[in-house]
Structure 1
């Protein structure tokens, strides 16, 4: 398979390892792999499967990453791959306001310093964000990840490395059946929801929910919540992880709420309104704090070198 290597320059500060772990979340994630400092994934660009291997080659005030692509026509796909990688890893996101806020707040400052260089990640598509939400509703993240792995292995596009698959394109799921998805670990109802979302994502009049992107948060959440199977938690999760709205902390996320309470040293049962009140002092970075708390728990488990 032909290869092409090119360089991207993230806005500093940037650390590839911390950023990729915000995508991976669990070591058994087979779509996003990170071994020996290299992030590997298969992207679907149009009808082409593109294997990428990304390495950070420069740190400090002028960070750089090297992107090695494997595809039938890598040069023709370079611009698209560059745009996807930039969006997924948040390479162009300016977090200077967040770091300024952290300098004046001891608690946030410790977290920001510990994970300095972690960028706000997004999934490759909004549909992928929806699929992660559906698979992980009402189950643990670890269990949901196993289901997502099986769906990727069944429906993902094959990369240059035979053992790797892309996250399943919406078109592949749209033409599946609830019974096929049930065999992979989704309930029949969740399978129906996911197929419905996939069909919306491939609508040529609104590819991958593009009409949502220009809307204000409240309007976007209201629109998303009208979709069958999409409640407040899913809508907020997709706003953060699909559309990159880093001011949105998914307030109904039990794991996220528990991490927030643990970080703040607060006792009691977390509530949606309580979470919003606690995060007000750090507005508009609630979603970025959510991502930091996820990676902080992984780093605490020894998966990431702090």
Structure 2
């Protein structure tokens, strides 16, 4: 059974993308190279990462971080997992600022972990990206985009293109100087030439969109 290592050679990815796409090559020269993400080398608990993703949904980073801190204090630990979440009741979660829907999502995540349905890092190392998506999207409150962010920023999978992400689609529009953003299907077709380094291409598309909007700070996209 093949094992998937965390991370990839970003210089190799840049060279590949530059050969395959002249427009993207020009942007890579303009923006400068994107190196390896240090998070690829850090161990993490997928359940904790997914719990944080649930808590961050539809909130600013500051507000969500405050709620995460309150929940961690309530469960008496540094990570959120089935055992710790099982020690806190719904009233306590509400007091921490967790909505009813998010509380249900956390309960579902914890229950699935307890049943062994959430793969840990060792299991993920022998699962391809599609298999990881299929394993995690049944969790209440977890969609494909959330799993794709884990695949890109935590697991370092090289060939992930989040076609539903507005920033990626905006970057693709600017790349091709198009009048409108591509549809998810159109972006998937456009991105075929970037494989097997579509993750690296997506990182540049975000940077292109950020540069065009003169963003003062990068948009937070991972589960940290």
TM-score past 0.5 threshold: yes
Work out which structure has the larger RCO, using CA pairs closer than 8 Å and 6 or more positions apart in sequence: 2
Query: Helix, strand or coil for the counterpart of 1:146?
Result: helix
Q: What is the aligned partner in structure 2 of residue 221 from structure 1?
A: 133
Aligned to 1:127: 47
TM-score (norm 2): 0.68
Cα distance, 1:193–1:241 mapped onto 2, change above 3 Å:
farther
Q: Distance in 1 between matches of 2:142 and 2:217?
A: 32
Report the Cα distance in structure 2 between the residues aligned to 1:98 and 1:231, rounded to whole angstroms.
Answer: 27
Q: Which runs of 5 or more structure 2 residues have no equivalent in the other structure?
A: 1-5, 219-224
- Structure 1 position 184, deviation (Å): 4.3
Distance 1:184 1:295 in 2: 35
Going from structure 1 to structure 2, the CA distance change for 1:268 and 1:135 (only over 3 Å counts) comes to farther
Preserved contact between residue 151 and residue 181 of structure 1 (Cα < 8 Å): no
Q: CA deviation at 1:249?
A: 1.7
Give 1:247 deviation, angstroms. 0.9
Query: What does the per-residue CA deviation read over 1:265-292, in whole Å, with 9 as the maximum and x for residues that have no partner?
Result: 3233543212211211111222222233
1:97 paired with 2:12, answer yes
Runs of 4+ residues over 6 Å off in structure 1: 202-207
Give the direction of change, closer, same or farther, for the CA distance of 1:207–1:231 in structure 2 (3 Å limit).
closer
The 1:268–1:295 alpha-carbon spacing in structure 2 relative to 1, beyond 3 Å, is: closer
Alignment check: 8 A CA contact 2:11 2:35 kept: no
Q: Which moved more, 1:246-255 or 1:118-127?
A: 118-127
Alignment size in residue pairs: 202
More helix by share: 2
Residue correspondence of structure 1 range 227-242 to structure 2 within 5 A = 227-242=139-154
User: Who is 1:58 aligned against?
Assistant: none
